[in-house]
Structure 1
Amino acid sequence: MPIPKRLRWWSVPIALIPLAVVRAGLLAEPDTFWQIRVGLDILRQGRIPDTDPYSWSAWGTEWHPNSWAFDVLLAEAYRFGGLAAAALAAAAFIPLTAGAVGLLARRLGARPGVVTLIVLVTFTPLLVWFSARPQMVDYAVVPFLLVLLDVAMKGERRAARVSAVAGILVVQVVWVNLHLVAPLGIAVLALAAVGHLITSPRKRRAGWIGAAAVAAAMVGTLASPFGWTVVTIAGDVHDSSSVIVEWGHFTFSKPVGDLLLAMCLLGLFGSWRMRRPDLLLPLGLLTAAGLYAIRMLPVAAVVAAAVLAAWTSASPRRSAYFDSRRALIRFAVVALVLAETVVGVVKGTPGQARYPIALVRQIPAGCRLFNGYTLGGLVILFRPDVKVSQDSRSDLYGRDALISANETEFGTHGADDLDRAQVTCALITPGSALSKQLQARGDWREVGGDPTGVLYARTSTASGTTP
């Protein structure tokens, strides 16, 4: 009995569930931990913090979480089932992203089997970017916005067009509260609207609909506790994060980045061949943004995946070829899903943190802590009684402070810096220059260590216990 075509489209997100479980098996992103703590505090206090409550180096400085609703989502999952539930909650955006890609590819005339196979293949290099962070929301939202705009521009019924524009408004409201990068949606929609205007035979109507869609996106973007300041907050994050690798410019140095760029370039070529400026222009913007700041490249790659799926079926010749290979495509999809399932079973319990949780619990109570950049979030979550020296909230500390902290840990005078700052304990990278200096000094002792971190305390500091 043949499967109805509408049901076959469900294979796109369902096929990505094992991949989501695989990714949930490892929490490797330091942001996740402090985001959970922020969410817990919002739930407990009933308000969004506007100053830093977690560090001693920037305590009281103005700071706004750029993903407060996502933080609350993680916190609710954490309260329900610990890190495993938080990891699974974030990983749920992987099949959601696949579903959004499937919707866009379907609007472009692609076939469900081909889309499922291409999504399975193209999402594999994206796996390293599918971490428990609010960026997961961006990957799902951008292709969905393009779907809504396409419906608004080409819908036969007025009700469908109005509903699509209203949907853009709602999506932007949700997005801006989950992640303040939502102003990106305005630019994407504006360029896509221009592309539709170029090819539309009814340019006057297309112009009005495009303007309404962009206006709806702008209004929706303002619907957050931060109002119009979302733009300045996003700018502050970028400016202060220039020393972070993912905010750096693209270079041909990492295979994953090279693969993503290749996907984007193929997507641009496919958009041009299909004569779809409504895809070519926003994809060009996203690709350029990815070349400027590599963390934007996955957003472009997700859109490119939908374009590639449509392009493969765009000509009668290629369409006939895939029809003749339908059984082979199904076999490949099943094989890939089974392989992902096996990997997920082997990896075991979700939410396994690649950080020294046990050491964090041993930090002496009341100590003045110096910690490595990636370890601060862990302390914020598991030891809220201990203030950190830094964490991955680069928008709070700023470029100069992060460089100074890095020099303390990996430079030649780190121990002297700790003396001047009256630091009494240190949680740092094993084998770092600071670790070697503290080992050589008699007024410091090693409390414990593992491959992910080592904890030192001054000899006058008493051992602490977990509160």
Structure 2
Amino acid sequence: MGKWTNVKEELNACALIWPAMTDQAVLSAVQPLSARAALPWLVGLGVYALLLIAAPRLLGDPDSYSHIEVGRWIMAHGALPATDPFSFSMHGAHWITFEWLSEVIYAAAFALSGWPGVVVVAAAAIALAFGLFTFFLLRELSPTLTLLMVIVAVILLAPHMLARPHVLVLPVMVAWAGALVRRMDRGGPPPYWALPLLVLWANLHGSVVLALGLIGPAVLETLLRERRGEWPRVILRWLPFTALAVAASCLTPYGPQPLLMPLTTLGLGPALAWISEWRSQDFSHIGGFELLLLAGIFALTRGLTLPVVRALVVIGLLHFALAQIRNADLLGMLAPLYLAAPLGRKFGGPSADDAPIPARGPNLAGIGVLIAMSGMALARDVRPAAIITPEAAIAQADLARTGSVLNDYSFGGYLIFAGIPTFIDGRGELYGGPFIDRYNRAVALVDLGDFLKLLDEYKIGATLFAPQTPAIAMLDRLPQWQRVYSDDVAVVHKRRDGSPR
């Protein structure tokens, strides 16, 4: 996204400079502590500080509004919704909030500290993920290679660092993947201790099926490492773990339904092309993703050989990242974990001088810095971007008492937050592909007749669109519609009194 351009440029510059540094230079920065003890804290706190400085960017997505309102609804009713209470176009339709725990966390943070609290929660989750990410990489890589991987991951995740449920599950995902990769690297029994992470994951975000998918590579690599005669023993060792993992993933208020949410989303089909984060990567201009991809291809030409299972995992993650922009997160945070051991064998791992030491000092210092930064962040006045907040338009046009409002997709989150029923919002699983596709084609005037039909079919009393929406020009020319408000954020049209509906 354009709003992260400056951050990306700075990080890209760091990526060019860093290879020139030696491991000794990196280690000297954290002496007398070992890199293994200090670097996870330094990385986590550095990411946290960066996100707090760029706090408004975390609030740049309209779904942040709706997630908070859903969380408030859950706390007010003491229950989870089974049907849609927020729209008029789908009111009463079957709907589950598969991210309910994240929404309650965000709503509680908002109730306690407003938008600064939401920023602190999201930033802390991302920072924790990067701290764990660094910790796991340092087991196999030198500090220099570890920090290079961190820079790559930050660049890939930057556009999607937003106060939404997916960032709360990032540390859980890293911990789960790190536990499985550790077994692939060192052998041993399945990590039963990590199973509770799946219960947390399943209630924070609807991507827990990915966690189950990551078990497959661990089992396959273990099988390939053993003689064929040992395969039954390996399968019997991993089978109970896999069964318990599936059971843990179903421990939600909705049972196993969240496991199917990725399939529901991907089932939107062509409608996904209208949603920016679900589009495929755009190579019409050079960006961070393309540069990193080319750098990775170059690295493979330098003689790096990957075990077949690791290669398949990286290829799979790369496919997901190419198919949908938002999946660059998975490539950035998971691929390095699977590449760490092969890279360590090729380019050198932790040195003998980097033996682990008691981490009490770094922990106490890190916690102190964390508390100080959080306190300063909570004292700031931050709020979501104006471009997704049509507050003035709603107030001036009195849309709360207008009736059915045909709204811009990007305004759906704020309308839910403001208590105004939406025509459409970010819950693609509720509206379905045909509905989303019809809406976008209509407001883009791809199908002019259907736009007019939409106004009458849903008895629309007012429209609320971003200024660049093609439908605005048509409404300006329709005698039964009148423009009643406009600014740089939104334009409002209302039906003239007495116009048929």
CA pair 131-313 structure 1, distance change in 2 beyond 3 A: same
Distance 1:316 1:238, change over 3 A: closer
The question of 1:8 aligning with 2:38 is answered: yes
Residue of structure 1 aligned with 2:180, choices 142, 149, 157: 149
RMSD over aligned CA atoms reads 3.4
Contact 1:67/1:178, CA 8 A, preserved across alignment: yes
Are 1:263 and 1:305, in contact at CA under 8 Å, matched by a contact in 2? no
Deviation (angstroms), 1:312? 5.7
CA distance in 2, matches of 1:365, 1:150: 52
Query: What CA distance in whole angstroms lies between the structure 2 residues aligned with 1:145 and 1:318?
Result: 22
Question: Post-superposition shift, 1:395?
Answer: 1.0
- Partners of 1:172 and 1:182 within 8 A in 2: yes
Distance in 2 separating the partners of 1:452 and 1:31: 17
The 3 A distance-change label for structure 1 pair 58 and 113 is: same
Superposed counterparts of 1:394-409, under 5 Å = 394-409=428-443
Q: Which range is displaced more, 42-51 or 350-359?
A: 350-359
Structure 1 residue 38, shift from structure 2 partner: 0.8
- The 5 A counterparts of 1:75-94 are 75-94=107-126
Partner of 1:373: 409
Letter in 2 for 1:297: A
Partner residue in 2 for 1:287: 318
| Percentage of pairs with the same residue | 24
Change (3 A) 1:293 1:380: same
1:235 aligned partner, one-letter code: L
Displacement after TM superposition at 1:212 (Å) = 4.1
Question: How far apart, CA to CA, are the structure 1 residues paired with 2:234 and 2:416?
Answer: 50
Q: Deviations over 1:135-183 (max 9, x none)?
A: 2245433332222124456779x8xx57x3122x111110010012101
Q: After superposition, where does 1:104-119 map in structure 2 within 5 Å?
A: 104-107=136-139, 109-119=140-150
Match of 2:268 in 1: 240
Deviations 1:36-77 (A, max 9, x none): 111110111011111111111111100111211111111111
Alignment correspondent of 1:45:
77
- Post-superposition CA distance 1:59-117 (Å, at most 9, x none): 1100111211111111111112223322332222221221232132123x113354234
Residue 438 (str. 1) matches residue 475 (str. 2): yes
In 2, the alpha carbon distance for the partners of 1:374 and 1:21 equals 24
For 1:316 and 1:191, the matched residues in 2 are separated by 24
Deviations 1:344-380 (A, max 9, x none): 99xx854432322332344433321110111111100
Contact 2:176–2:211 at 8 Å: present in 1 too? yes
SS in 2 for 1:124: helix
Q: CA deviation at 1:309?
A: 6.3
> Which residue identity does 1:86 align to in structure 2?
V
1:417 to 451, 454, 463: 454
Q: Deviations along 1:408-461, whole A, 9 cap, x unmatched?
A: 322134355324432111111213222112223444333333323222223439
> Displacement of 1:185 after TM fit?
0.8
Structure 1 residue 170 and structure 2 residue 205: aligned?
no
Whole-Å separation in 1 of the counterparts to 2:296 and 2:65: 32
CA distance in 2, matches of 1:46, 1:395: 23
Report if aligned partners of 1:148, 1:165 keep a CA contact under 8 Å in 2: no
2:327 aligned residue: 296
SS state at 2:400 partner: coil
Runs of 5+ unmatched residues, structure 2: 1-30, 355-372
Moved more, 180-189 or 137-146: 137-146
Superposed counterparts of 1:170-209, under 5 Å: 170-199=196-225, 207-209=235-237
Q: Distance in 2 between matches of 1:31 and 1:316?
A: 43
Confirm whether residue 364 of structure 1 aligns to residue 364 of structure 2.
Answer: no
Change (3 A) 1:405 1:275: closer
Report the counterpart of residue 255 of structure 2 in structure 1: 227
Pair 71,357 (structure 1): closer, same or farther in 2 beyond 3 Å = same
Cα deviation for residue 388 of structure 1 reads 1.0
Seen in structure 2, the aligned counterparts of structure 1 residues 85 and 105 have a Cα distance that, compared at 3 Å, is same
1:338 matched residue in structure 2? none
The CA distance in 2 between the partners of 1:79 and 1:241, in whole Å, is: 37
* SS at structure 1 position matched to 2:210: helix
How far apart, in 2, do the equivalents of 1:183 and 1:357 lie?
38
List aligned pairs for 1:222-371, cutoff 5 A: 222-240=250-268, 242-245=270-273, 246-253=277-284, 255-259=287-291, 261-262=293-294, 269=300, 273=304, 275-277=306-308, 279-306=310-337, 313-315=344-346, 349-353=381-385, 354-355=387-388, 356-362=390-396, 363-367=398-402, 368-371=404-407
1:110–1:313 Cα contact (<8 Å) kept:
yes
Q: Hey, what's the Cα distance between the residues in 2 that align with 1:460 and 1:79?
A: 40
Greater shift after overlay, 390-399 or 452-461?
Answer: 452-461
On the 8 A contact 1:237/1:395 being kept in 2, the answer is yes
How many pairs align?
429
Instruction: For 1:444 and 1:181, locate their aligned partners in 2 and report how far apart those are by CA, in whole Å.
Output: 43
In structure 1, C-alpha distance between the alignment counterparts of 2:121 and 2:324, rounded to whole Å = 27
Using the TM superposition, give the Cα deviation of residue 24 of structure 1 relative to its aligned residue in structure 2, in angstroms: 3.0
When residues 283 and 316 of structure 1 are mapped into structure 2, their CA distance, relative to the original with a 3 A threshold, is closer
Tell me, in whole angstroms, the C-alpha distance in 2 between the residues paired with 1:316 and 1:406.
Answer: 50
How far apart in 2 are the matches of 1:293 and 1:388? 26
Q: Aligned partners of 1:99, 1:259: CA distance in 2, in Å?
A: 25
Q: 1:260 to 1:91 in 2, by over 3 A?
A: farther
SS of 2:271's partner is coil
TM-score (norm 2): 0.75
1:70 aligns to what? Answer: 102
> CA separation of 1:230/1:252 partners in 2, compared to 1, >3 Å: closer, same or farther?
same
Unaligned runs of 5+ in 1: 324-340, 462-467
Larger CA deviation: 114-123 vs 124-133: 114-123
Partners of 2:46 and 2:329 in 1: how far apart?
A: 20
Q: 1:259 to 1:181 in 2, by over 3 A?
A: farther
Specify the SS of the correspondent of 2:61. Answer: coil
Q: Flag the 1:37–1:316 CA change in 2: closer, same or farther, 3 A.
A: closer
Deviation larger for 394-403 or 3-12 = 3-12
